[in-house]
Chains A and B, each alone.
Chain A
Amino acid sequence: MNTGIDTTVLAIDLGYGFSKAATNRGRVLIPSMVGPAEVVRFESDVIAENGHGIALEVDGRRFFVGEQAELQSASASQTLDVTRTGSAEQKALFYAVASELVKTTDKTVAIVTGLPVLDFDDRHKTSMREMLSGEHVIERTGKRKRSFTVDRVYIIPQAMGSLFALVLDRRGKLVDGDLAGGRVGIVDVGTLTTNFVLVDRLRYVETGSDSITTGMGELLQKVAKDLKREHELDWGLHLGRVDRAVRKRAVEVRGAPVNISGIVDPHLEALADTVISRARTLWGAAADLRAVIVTGGGSLELVPYIRRAYTHTRTVGDDPQFANVTGYLRAGLRRFG
């Protein structure tokens, strides 16, 4: 089926750590931070100082989203809440990414998105569809109003997007027959959840798939706790800063650089043990799998540990945060492009 040339395919991945979106014209990533704008006293000043602040209205309520919300710390919240599917905060994230990518001339939009394996059920799909479907009017400070209709919402298990990103080209054509023709395990390390998906020659195998509510968010909170105890850095509400510190393995304390590998590595090892343990329960030694693909925002840190357990581990490139949304887009373009 083809929705026609007037429909824009918008792929979105509203993750607990970051929200990602893409069309065939571009892509965007923002921290999944949402704060009510009404509690910020000098909203207009904040927006003026920070050119990329996102302030918008959702169902009559105003929100700050992304970096702007993070700057408003006390009032902002990273929505680490498994019941948030369909919430106003999630809709604010949707509006934030859509206001970047949907053009003012776009009238009809088809959305391809994903849900964690554990939430891949009718209830969560319905909540997601209800939130995304229908007519939308996005009023965002500093941007022209956008009005469009989402007439289709397609939902797939999150980690499948990464496989589609590997086996499909940018037009949705099947190009990697080797990987597509085998049994493949995918480990998608997110902020709050880690998804395990088993695929047999491109068909989703539910019995070999699962989610666990463990991810980089838990690690970041533990590191934040240690940073407060050892270096008096009170970053418990600034997980974005902790995330950057973990990647660099360094912080600055009273003007001096400090290596934090000793704090980070033990927590990473513990997280890797949990992830590998679940993978072993699902796939054993994975000897009959052509590859174990590790993806998601936390994958770059965990790949060295997972590769010790599964030597046929493969990554999805240098930008694993975008792998799922890239795959959603390619699957959508295959069908509707």
Chain B
Amino acid sequence: MIIHVRLRPGHDDDIAEWYEPQADKAAAVRDAIRAYMRSQNGEGQDAVVRAAVIQAMSELPNLVTGAVRDALASYQFAPRQAERAPGDEDPELAARLDAQLDDFFGD
């Protein structure tokens, strides 16, 4: 079913202003009609707000996951250093020392 609605200049400018930026215009209109229907069926303003919040909350995990993914897309994590037990040699310094001894000892 296709419903045509005419917005009258000077009377429905507020609707036009709300409608224009909607990304999914059909879904936005459907949601608006359902909200109106619920209010007409006796649900109060609180119930409308609650339904809107529940809807928004259900989308929150995807929203957060997407935002975090975008933020970390270019972040370079340093490889985690292997933890050394007390008394263990620093592997980098030990390698430098052995290289120096190789130079001195020459074989």
Contact = CB atoms under 8 A, between A and B. Distances in A.
B101 A177 contact: no
B86 to A, nearest CB: 11
Contact-residue size bin, chain A (C-beta under 8 Å from the other chain) = 10 to 19
B107 interface: yes
B93 A201 contact: yes
A201 B100 CA distance: 10
Contacts of A28: none
B105 A335 contact: yes
A177 B93 contact: yes
A206 B34 CA distance: 84
Contact-residue size bin, chain B (C-beta under 8 Å from the other chain) = 10 to 19
Interface in A118-169: 152, 154-156, 160
Contact of A180 (B97, B99, B105): B97
Given A175-B87, A177-B90, A181-B90, A203 B104 contact: no
A202 B90 contact: no
Interface string A172-204: 011101001100000000000000000001111
B104 A156 contact: yes
A48 interface: no
B104 A180 contact: no
A174 B104 CA distance: 17
Query: Which applies to chain B's interface (DSSP): helix, strand, loop or mixed?
Result: helix
Nearest to A331: B101
Given A177-B90, A180-B93, A181-B90, A154 B100 contact: no
B4 interface: no
Interface string A203-246: 11000000000000000000000000000000000000000000
B31 to A, nearest CB: 64
Query: Which applies to chain A's interface (DSSP): helix, strand, loop or mixed?
Result: mixed
B94 interface: yes
B83 interface: no
B50 interface: no
Contacts of B97: 174, 180, 202, 334
A334 B99 CA distance: 12
Contacts of B103: 204
B89 interface: yes
Contact of B100 (A1, A175, A177, A202): A202
B89 to A, nearest CB: 4
A203 B100 contact: yes
Contacts of A175: 87
Nearest to B87: A175
B96 interface: yes
A335 B100 CA distance: 11
B105 A154 contact: yes
A29 B90 CA distance: 34
Interface string B74-99: 00000000000001011001101101
B104 A154 contact: yes
Nearest to B106: A154
Contacts of A152: 107
Interface in A11-41: none
B81 to A, nearest CB: 13
B105 A174 contact: no
Residue from the set A154, A202, A334 with the largest chain B CB neighbour count within 10 Å: A202
Contacts of A331: 101, 104
Interface string B30-70: 00000000000000000000000000000000000000000
Nearest to A335: B101
Contacts of A202: 93, 96-97, 100
A323 B107 CA distance: 25
Given A201-B93, A204-B100, 9 more contacts: A154-B106, A174-B90, A174-B94, A177-B93, A202-B93, A202-B97, A203-B99, A335-B101, A335-B105
11 contacts: A152-B107, A154-B104, A155-B104, A174-B90, A175-B87, A180-B90, A180-B93, A180-B97, A201-B96, A203-B99, A331-B104
Interface of A: 1, 152, 154-156, 160, 173-175, 177, 180-181, 201-204, 331, 334-335
